[in-house]
Chains A and B, each alone.
Chain A
Amino acid sequence: MLLSTLSEMKCKQNVLKSTDGSVEFSQGDTVVLVGAYGPADCKESKQDVKEAIVEVNFRPKIGIPGIAEKYLEQFVKGVCESCIQRSLHPRTTFSIIVQVIQDRGSLLSCAINGTSMALQDAGISMKFMPVAVTVALKHKEEVSMETDCGTEDYDVIFSPSLEEEEKAFANLTLVFDSVKSELVSTYASGPMTSFQYQQCLMSAKNVSKSIVQFFRDSVSKKLAADVL
């Protein structure tokens, strides 16, 4: 089965003077701005004696953050808690702010990839860098059915646009770790068979490796720009 192309990525690091680490990350037409602070002071009531706590703030462009944003916040928070070496900094907070600049589909994966780069930019010690891939499963249109040579009647779309996300019968965001390419977290909506899930998992795993390579490239380019 032929893979669809992944949308173009852009990463601009250290864009905000005020934060410890900040990144403007875009995936296709979706753009997010992520800032990270930490390890920083923490209220006594929130402190954890054994490890640092993580706060994520998801800010939409229009209106105040609602339930949808809170849900995404929790998801990103879970991913960050697993990747940051929290036991190194007990009684502190890591605070991450995700500002949506332009939403044209696969927002969650863009936000997680941006967060990952922002944490890197802030120089926070991590066990691995989370890498997210959004996959949409869409029924094939009838025209293409006639020329279809395979047995599957659906398309696997990587980094879908808003329209494609709407038309798809199932959406899946998979988060991998950058070291062993193991699954860290999954966000799924819509019905799918276990075969379909496996198929998405395997192909997204391959894609995640090339995203890690992109992370590496952009970090080394940034460092080279600083040195030369």
Chain B
Amino acid sequence: MPLREPTLSNLENNFIVNAVCDNRRYDGRRITDARDTQITLGLDYGCCTVSLGETKVMAQVAVEMERPKESRPSEGSLHIHVEMSTLASGNFDASKPGELGIEIQRILERSIILSRCLDLEELCIRVGERSWAVHLYIHVLCYDGNILDCASIAAITSLKHFRRPDITVEGKTVLVHSIEERNPLPLTMHHMPFCTTMAFFKDSKQLLVDPTRIEEKVMDGKLIISINNHKEVCCMQICGQVHISKPQILHSTDVAYLKSKELSEFVKNVLTDDLKYKQNGEKEQQVSLLCKRNLHVKENLMCNQHKKENLLVEIVNPITTTENFASELKKAPEWLTKHDSKTVSVGEGLINSWGKVGSSFFKSIKKPELPNLESNSEDENDSDEEIITLNQTS
């Protein structure tokens, strides 16, 4: 049963719009800043998890053999499936993709399949008889705005990371070699298109890159541009009630191009690092970060990653870890003020002014009115309250 979408109050709405008009954002980013991008590659070929701030998407590529289409006998095919899991948001229905899911799927199809970034002819095994069908599954894990940008990074990374099994064709028989038998082959990609979503505010005068969920609710409309690092626009879409002028479109294309260039560089680095990592025989999941804002944030994020490593507990001897942990707990940091053995507080605080205020307040109540003889039941209640207040003040 899908949960209801929480509504946004007018105050919140106005706060965000006013902030945006002031060239500010509620999370401290600048107008053209995207959130921190993190790519995690697993052990499986063609699987990656990408997070963009709190938004999180997992992509997985799989292949199967099929008969090619009659109209294109010498080509394989690429299919994109977007799964909007209830994990992502309580109001998503797992059984159907919904409006948002369909929108994301269509734009990804236009951006990746129709831009012909994947070489489909290479996927043909025997003309008119056998070809590979590549399936790209996009699982949305957490929704905090701008799923599309996150999904497009995940899609490209997983397609790049994927290896398909090698085959030999002898006459009419096709032999598929297992991964142990022969090295699997990568898919051929001609270019890497990345989507950038820009939200428009204030009669489409103000532009925001990478809107969060709240900003998406408030915005007038959005412009989606898919562009590769050769500055070729692969797909463009305007949604909502906006009128965007020609210079604005050119400007946003430049912004999208810069972002796409940076991302393709990042994805390439991540994949080469991963190859090195795997060759060294290390198995743990690899996490890479793209951080543009400042070093401070980067350090913070690294800390978060560390926490995970600290949690890594050897099951065999759990006693030692608990001891270490107990000794860690005893050390309270210096910035905490200690009151007694059990209570601490942050900072020293101010002098309590409640006592004075409280007593004057109670005095004002204390003046009792003469009991009303006409209504007995209310009287009783009143007198009860009075006794309580008197007790408190005395």
8 Å CB contact of A97 from B44, B85, B308, B325: B85
8 Å CB contact of B1 from A12, A43, A211: A43
Cross-chain contact A228 with B333 (CB below 8 angstroms): yes
**A220–B85 CA distance with the chains assembled, in angstroms:** 30
Cross-chain contact B141 with A16 (CB below 8 angstroms): yes
Cross-chain contact A9 with B89 (CB below 8 angstroms): no
For A63, list chain B residues within 8 Å (CB): 62, 137
Residue of B nearest to A33 (CB): B141
Q: Chain A contact residues: over half helix, strand or loop, or mixed?
A: mixed
Cross-chain contact B87 with A19 (CB below 8 angstroms): yes
**A17–B54 CA distance with the chains assembled, in angstroms:** 7
Q: 0/1 per residue, A40-57, Cβ < 8 Å to B?
A: 111100100000000101
B311 at interface by CB-CB < 8 Å: yes
Number of interface residues of A (CB under 8 A): 48
B109 at interface by CB-CB < 8 Å: no
For B105, list chain A residues within 8 Å (CB): none
A68 at interface by CB-CB < 8 Å: no
Given contacts A19-B87, A29-B43, A214-B315, contact A61 B3 (CB under 8 A): no
Residue of A nearest to B90 (CB): A37
B257 at interface by CB-CB < 8 Å: no
Q: Which of B166-174, B181-189, B316-324 contacts A (4 or more CB under 8 A)?
A: B316-324
Given contacts A102-B47, A104-B43, contact A214 B325 (CB under 8 A): no
B329-370 interface (Cβ within 8 A of A) = 329, 332-333
B218 at interface by CB-CB < 8 Å: no
A130 at interface by CB-CB < 8 Å: no
Q: Which bucket holds chain B's interface residue count?
A: 35 or more
For B314, list chain A residues within 8 Å (CB): 8
A177-224 interface (Cβ within 8 A of B) = 207, 210-211, 213-214, 217-218, 220-221, 224
For A102, list chain B residues within 8 Å (CB): 42-44, 47
Given contacts A16-B56, A62-B62, contact A40 B3 (CB under 8 A): yes
**A40–B89 CA distance with the chains assembled, in angstroms:** 13
Given contacts A40-B90, A225-B307, contact A59 B139 (CB under 8 A): yes
Residue of A nearest to B332 (CB): A228
Residue of B nearest to A65 (CB): B94
Residue of A nearest to B62 (CB): A62
For B316, list chain A residues within 8 Å (CB): 5-6, 210
Q: 0/1 per residue, B35-76, Cβ < 8 Å to A?
A: 000000011100101000010101010100000000000000
Give A residues with C-beta under 8 Å from B.
5-6, 8-12, 15-19, 22, 29, 31, 33, 35, 37, 40-43, 46, 55, 57, 59, 61-63, 93, 95, 97, 99, 101-102, 104, 207, 210-211, 213-214, 217-218, 220-221, 224-225, 228
The 8 A-B pairs at the shortest CB distance, nearest first, are namely: A16-B142, A213-B318, A17-B54, A35-B87, A6-B315, A61-B60, A97-B87, A62-B62
